[in-house]
Amino acid sequence: MFDSPFPDFISFYCSQNPSDQDYRLLPEENAIAESFGSQKRRDEFILGRLCAHRALSRFGLESVPILRNSETREPCWPISVCGSITHSAGYAAVAVGLKKEINGIGIDLESFSRSLDIKISRHVCVDSELEWLESLSTKQARRALRIIFSAKESIFKCLYPKTKTYFGFKDAVVSVNDDENKFSFKILKSFPSKIQKDFPQHGRYSEMDKMLLTSVYI
């Protein structure tokens, strides 16, 4: 599956099959999994938590339960850790790092096999992004829109735990660099200046097995 898009001080793990995991859910996590009415949602939760334990094992934290904020539905990471979980089309990925090394992290998985209506671009994209999409063929535009969508998901997942500020899709502008599999971006909404100063203006993306992974860290 995907190789890590991060520096060595960030632990990353991606998997499709929960039976391949060396870990099992902890009792507190099992209770959360059983609370979901949908089997699909339970399966996503289970695989995501198993990947999380695998990623956390690098820091000796694999036995800490990863609970869930009942209001925001965010994972509750160990106090010394920043992390992000994503899942799509039967895959899950997790990235975690120590707070002494990073201030935030965001990842997002998207399936290219899932249909995407190009019309949603008007809800996702700002004017400069729309102009770029209009310059592409229909096939290229669908791919580019998915990258923009996923990149913004990663950016906002990275920002929210630090800022506690909700962002809409039009609160950021993304520019894709296909030559280097990177994207640059600018946040258009005001948020604490300390975060603005520290926040990098780029992220990465990878494509494999009809899946897309985007990633950002601060």
Distances (CA, A) of 108 to 5, 48, 173, 213: 12, 12, 17, 6
Looking at the structure, tell me whether residues 181 and 161 fall in a common domain. Answer: yes
Looking at the structure, tell me whether residues 15 and 82 fall in a common domain. Answer: yes
Domain that holds residue 193: 112-205
Looking at the structure, tell me whether residues 57 and 94 fall in a common domain. Answer: yes
* Global confidence as pTM: 0.92
Contact between 203 and 185 (Cβ < 8 Å): yes
Average pLDDT over every residue of 171-184? 95
Least Cα distance to 132 among 180, 172, 176 occurs for 176
Q: What is the pLDDT of residues 102-134, one digit of tens each?
A: 999 999 999 999 888 899 999 999 999 999 999
CATH code of the domain containing 57: 3.90.470.20
Which secondary-structure segment (H or E) carries 123? helix 121-124
Comparing 41-45, 171-175, 187-191, 206-210, the range with the smallest average pLDDT is: 187-191
Q: What is the pLDDT of residues 54-95, one digit of tens each?
A: 999 999 999 999 999 888 889 999 999 999 999 999 999 999
Looking at the structure, tell me whether residues 41 and 128 fall in a common domain. Answer: no
Structural domain includes residue 152: yes
**DSSP letter for each residue of 139-190:** HHHHHHHHHHHHHHHHHHHHHHHHH-----GGGEEEEEETTTTEEEEEE-S-
Contact between 93 and 102 (Cβ < 8 Å): no
